[in-house]
Amino acid sequence: ETFISLSVTLFAKPGESIKLSCKISGFVIQDWYKAWIRQPTGKGLEWLASYDEESNTKYYSSTIEGRFIASIDISSSTFYLQMNNLQTEDSAMYYCARHSHGYCYLHFVIYYYFSLFFMY
């Protein structure tokens, strides 16, 4: 089951930085991993990062580690993805999602999505 509550279109140039923000609501934040995933046009979903608040642990895909940073502001229930040194291959639909504890990425509940395009 998928729930989309907001869509945003973003434009960037190679080398620029963008910060995505996702306001979380409707569930107990500590009960779920928060995640960022993306889907380049014509390709499958790619997991980028997850955050486990219970253990304060972040997990990253090797494709973005060092360039992208996930963070959370508990007071405002907002989950962020800071994306630095963007490259054209980062063009994709980006999703803010939740998933159950553990490493089963087959079931995401999606709350926000962002379309990232590049300008020259």
Those residues whose C-beta lies under 8 Å from the C-beta of residue 75, and which sit 6 or more positions away, are none
**Distance in angstroms (rounded) separating the CA atoms of residues 52 and 59:** 8
- In this prediction, what percent of the chain has a pLDDT beyond 70? 70
> What is the CA angle 30-66-43, rounded to 5?
80
Task: Please report which confidence band the pLDDT of residue 53 belongs to, taking 50, 70 and 90 as the band edges.
Answer: confident
Contact 2, 63 (CB under 8 A): no
- Band (pLDDT 50/70/90 cuts) for residue 106 is very low
- Residues 6 or more apart whose CB falls under 8 angstroms from that of 70 comprise 34, 36, 48, 49, 50, 51, 58, 60, 79, 80, 81, 82
Does residue 16 or residue 2 have the better pLDDT? 16
pLDDT recorded at residue 1: 38
Beta bridge partners of 80: 21, 71
The CATH classification of domain 6-118, taken from the options 3.20.20.70, 3.40.50.2020, 2.60.40.10, 2.40.50.140: 2.60.40.10
> Higher-confidence residue: 23 or 104?
23
